[in-house]
Amino acid sequence: MSDEPNTTNNEQSEAPQQDAKPEPEIKGKWYVLHTQTSHENRVKTNLEQRIQSLSVEDKIFEIIIPTREIVVVKKGKRVKQKEKVYPGYIFVRMEMDDESWLVVRTTEGVTGFIGAGLKPTPISDKEVQAIMKFVKQDQPRFKAKFSVGEAIKIVDGPFTDFLGSVEAIDEEKGKIRVLVSIFDRETPMELDFLQVKKI
């Protein structure tokens, strides 16, 4: 019987295990600022300049204005453009203390934090993830300039010049369902946004 140790088992037991790399910790929490609508970009620039000039980059980390790409119809053509998801609001990731609060709150164009009373309330990670997922959608959405019940005129296709009313709108596909009177009977039909206009 051999006295030699079983090196195979020892080597296996001593083999270093690959530990999963921990995800980097994200500093701060997300807060929502209220601004005047259409002034969001200017306020973002103002705040970025103040963060740099007051050297608080270690407390205020990130500023975003959630936008999404949409497709609108202008002069009979599809045009892509950016649309603010939450007009009048800016999202800031920061460590909240008296100094960082004062820097943000006294920035020109900021009208306040969203929160209970005077105390800013961070939004949950779940809410942040949902917003980011929505913003990062690959497919641009169509932006309808119609509303249900509105009168329209067909401007393209076999039913050009027929009048009707909007029954339903599908912004995902850029389609509109209209009711058109044909032989004194309302007939539903699905059309592209480009095929109709308001009257």
Residues 111 and 132 placed together within one structural domain of the fold: yes
Mean pLDDT over 99-124 rounds to 90
Residues 156 and 131 placed together within one structural domain of the fold: no
* Each residue's pLDDT tens digit, 16-58: 455 555 556 778 999 999 998 899 999 999 999 999 999 999 9
* Each residue's pLDDT tens digit, 88-105: 999 999 999 999 999 999
What is the C-alpha separation between 167 and 150, in angstroms, rounded?
Answer: 8
Residues of the chain with pLDDT > 70: what percent? 84
Look at residue 20 in the predicted model and tell me its pLDDT: 54
Half-sphere exposure of 197 (CA within 13 A, CB side): 11
Mean pLDDT over 161-168 rounds to 93
Look at residue 136 in the predicted model and tell me its pLDDT: 75
Band the pLDDT of 182: cuts 50, 70, 90: confident
Residue, of 121 and 182, whose pLDDT is higher: 121
Residue, of 67 and 137, whose pLDDT is higher: 67
As a whole number, the mean pLDDT across the chain is 83
CATH number for the domain that contains residue 106: 3.30.70.940
Q: What is the CA radius of gyration of the chain?
A: 28
Look at residue 133 in the predicted model and tell me its pLDDT: 81
* Total of domains in the chain: 2
Lowest mean pLDDT of 64-68, 131-135, 168-172, name the range. Answer: 131-135
Which residue range forms the structural domain that includes residue 186? Answer: 151-198
Residues 155 and 136 placed together within one structural domain of the fold: no
Residues 33 and 128 placed together within one structural domain of the fold: yes
- For the full predicted model, state whether its pTM sits above 0.85: no
What is the C-alpha separation between 36 and 172, in angstroms, rounded?
Answer: 29
Residues 48 and 137 placed together within one structural domain of the fold: yes
- The H or E element that residue 12 is part of is helix 7-14
Look at residue 153 in the predicted model and tell me its pLDDT: 92
Asked if 143 and 82 touch (Cβ cutoff 8 Å), the reply is no
CATH number for the domain that contains residue 163: 2.30.30.30
Look at residue 13 in the predicted model and tell me its pLDDT: 47
Instruction: Tell me if 83 is assigned to some domain.
Output: yes
Look at residue 64 in the predicted model and tell me its pLDDT: 93
Q: Considering only CA atoms, which of 63, 38, 31 is closest in space to residue 50?
A: 63
Residue, of 139 and 3, whose pLDDT is higher: 139
The answer to whether residue 190 scores a pLDDT higher than 50 is yes
Instruction: Tell me if 169 is assigned to some domain.
Output: yes
Residues 49 and 74 placed together within one structural domain of the fold: yes
